Amino acid sequence: MRQIIFIKFFLLLLFCNHFLSIAQDMKNSDKRYWSLSSSNRIVWDITKEKKLPHSDNIEMSGRKVSAIIHYKVDENRKLTVTRDVIFPQLRTIIKSGEPDYMNYRAYLRHQYEDALAIPPIITRGKTFVPGPVDSVAIDGKLNFFYSAVGGLVLTRILFPSMKERLFVEKWNLYNSTDSVQLIQIGKTETVFQEEGKDGTYIRKTFSSAEGDISIQPKGVFSFYILFAEQLNDERIPTEGQTAEQERNSFLNTINANLVLETPDQILNTLFHFSKIRAAESIFDSKMGIVHSPGGGRYYTGIWANDQAEYANPFFPYLGYEPGVEASMNSYLMFLKNIPPPGKKIWASFEMQGDLPCCSHDRGDAAMIAFGATHFALASGREDYAKKLWPLIDWSLRYCKSKKNSAGVIESDSDELEGRFPSGDANLSTSSLYYGALVRAARLAKALKKPYKQYITEAEQIELSIEKYFGAELQDLKTYRYYEGNTTLRSWISLPLVVGINRRREGTLEALFSRLWTNNGVKIEDNPKAEQKVFWDRGTLYAFRGAFKAGAADRAVEKLQAYSASRLLGMHVPYAVEAWPEGGMAHLSAESALYARIFIEGMIALEPEGFKSFSIRPHLPTSWSYVKLKKIKAFDSTFDILITRENKEYVIEIIKEGTRIKKQQVKEGEKLMVTL
């Protein structure tokens, strides 16, 4: 009992320290610590760093493990590492007196400090103590590079197993001298057993090396430190090398597909990192493999916003089959749990689907319909679409049943769940419903079902959105978020995202001037608020909507500043959830939303059928090209190459090495493509 209390206290202390560290750095949120090393790697050169100490964290995930690695470099370049390792499928026992919500966060997790994990190493009769850290690199793994001590140069590489309950740290000891180095590695093994909700949990920390080792001149000796968990009598994982090979294979797959090329290498690189974070956060569960947000709080579960709306439509473009499978599993879980007439659908199914949540309608049916229609078309799989159609049909009918007398859709709240006022009917739910209707018409037509009623309904809801939400706020012709709303809100970008441009200019001015901060779009322009609260998802939607609406020059400067901050700034290398809530956790669906800025915003790709799509590119005037290669959507592999020529765009579509279309279009002109 004392140990459990200590672990919870330690977790709270670690979070508070991290929170305070970020709070201090928020004042310098535009500072760059990192630089580009190559297209798929960033490096922090600590030998040139003048602003120390500095700390940060990064999350990395596999099917049965996720780890949030906290690292700090002090004034003397001494490194401290804490591994917060989470085993999502293993649930702890909630003690009496603890709040009910703890059942939704009862993941088995442990803190691992260096003192208890690193084996003793003796060289030349002395204990080897790593020297100052020279640099840190991130490339899908976390790498620390040290200065030489006694001729030994240490590199530490941290990464998760992609399949096992295992987190791995690899040590490379390079002999920089011209003579043989003899070292002795002591045995390090700790075993701890506890009872959990699913049985007996056995935690084991150990090294793959011990005994006398000879390192040849200019040679390298490598070994692994393993942080493993065992359930009952299952085999405990012991293969660090296998885990490394599987992680490398995963990274190679992500690297090969859906490659963005623009004149801005920072955008290209953050796009690449976003693919990694979106795709790695997939977990085994009773529902099958599912994508989950992560962030220390959300695993082995699905949500109507993060999965159904944000992440799932991205995976067909990436062509990552586990992501596509996880997307189908999430939609099918919602389908299996369609409620009785008049009842709302659950917003989430957490803890492997065992715990559905919650009682309030956030507009979840609109979120599901908006995401599922896009996924069904982009996958190019008619069999998927047929399976999902009953869910889409129910979601649209439910939304229609929630129309008020003004013709907009009522919901208890939005995806911010009451953190900010949203009235009886909010702009988000109605906008998502409109977007879902547009795509439902295309999907129904592709399935040879009646479809014109969806077009008619979309036209009606668009007029209702204009009449009910259209307003002048702060002298801007934009939207009120709900009836009685008098402050500008970040989600006013959603009409632009779904193709409603009636209030384009005022909305863009609100987003990129009145609501803009060094950390993107704040949730609300409220002078009474003490803090500038932001959720990255609002900023990511704002970028997507702005590019889609043709405001590329206005959006790109802000996008470049935002991307540099997230990739090279004080908290890297991904988009985050929110501030101050969650301490800017690396939730994975936000990374999917970042990638979608380019697919659905800058290129404005819209699924039209199972084998067809349209694009309406909007490039910044200073850019001569944008290329998106190895797109895997519509059950095909193809490239979209866009170049400027005489103030127009030349668009080439290359399918599996063969050019199937080349056409010149004007700015704002739509190009239809059939594969």
Domain presence at residue 20 = no
**Same domain for 202 and 121?**
yes
Return the CATH number at 379.
1.50.10.10
Maximum C-alpha span of the chain: 85
Q: How confident is the model at residue 29 (pLDDT cuts 50, 70, 90)?
A: low
Q: What is the pLDDT of residue 38?
A: 81
pLDDT at 454 over 90: yes
576-592 pLDDT per residue, tens: 999 998 899 999 999 99
What's the CA gap between 452 and 450, in Å, rounded?
Answer: 6
288-317 pLDDT per residue, tens: 999 999 999 999 999 999 999 999 999 999
What's the CA gap between 177 and 174, in Å, rounded?
Answer: 9
Q: What is the pLDDT of residue 47?
A: 96
**Same domain for 235 and 297?**
no
For residue 182, CA distances in Å to 129, 207, 261, 315 come to 15, 18, 48, 50
Q: What is the pLDDT of residue 530?
A: 55
Q: How confident is the model at residue 607 (pLDDT cuts 50, 70, 90)?
A: very high
Domain that residue 388 falls in: 257-267+274-615
Q: How confident is the model at residue 26 (pLDDT cuts 50, 70, 90)?
A: low
pLDDT at 385 over 60: yes
Q: What is the pLDDT of residue 28?
A: 54
Q: What is the pLDDT of residue 2?
A: 37
pLDDT at 529 over 70: no
pLDDT at 344 over 80: yes
Domain presence at residue 595 = yes
Nearest Cα residue to 278 out of 578, 127, 59: 59
Q: How confident is the model at residue 22 (pLDDT cuts 50, 70, 90)?
A: low
Domain presence at residue 634 = no
121-153 pLDDT per residue, tens: 999 889 999 999 999 999 999 999 999 999 999
- Average pLDDT on 41-55 reads 96
**Same domain for 239 and 278?**
no
What's the CA gap between 667 and 249, in Å, rounded?
Answer: 40
Return the CATH number at 207.
2.70.98
- Average pLDDT on 621-634 reads 98
**Same domain for 64 and 148?**
yes
CA dihedral 264→267→269→270, nearest 10 degrees, is 170
pLDDT at 9 over 80: no
- Average pLDDT on 546-564 reads 98
Which residues have CB under 8 Å from 92's CB, separation 6+? 4, 106, 107, 108, 196, 197
**Same domain for 537 and 579?**
yes
Residue % of the chain over a pLDDT of 70: 95
pLDDT at 491 over 80: yes
Domain presence at residue 22 = no
**Same domain for 406 and 310?**
yes
**Same domain for 103 and 135?**
yes
398-417 pLDDT per residue, tens: 999 999 999 999 999 999 99
**Same domain for 132 and 262?**
no
Query: Among the three residues 577, 593, 615, which one is the final residue of a domain in this structure?
Result: 615
**Same domain for 62 and 117?**
yes
73-119 pLDDT per residue, tens: 999 999 999 999 999 999 999 888 888 888 999 999 999 999 888 99
Average pLDDT, the chain: 94
Domain presence at residue 658 = no
Nearest Cα residue to 256 out of 524, 40, 523: 40
- Average pLDDT on 587-603 reads 98
Q: How confident is the model at residue 15 (pLDDT cuts 50, 70, 90)?
A: very low
**Same domain for 304 and 402?**
yes
Domain presence at residue 5 = no
Domain presence at residue 675 = no
Q: What is the pLDDT of residue 135?
A: 98
**Same domain for 261 and 237?**
no
Q: What is the pLDDT of residue 8?
A: 47
pLDDT at 484 over 60: yes
Q: Give the angle 192-193-194 at the CA atoms, nearest 5°.
A: 130
Count of structural domains, the chain: 2
- Average pLDDT on 24-50 reads 83
Q: What is the pLDDT of residue 647?
A: 85
- Average pLDDT on 48-60 reads 96
- Average pLDDT on 181-203 reads 94
Residue % of the chain over a pLDDT of 90: 89
**Same domain for 352 and 220?**
no
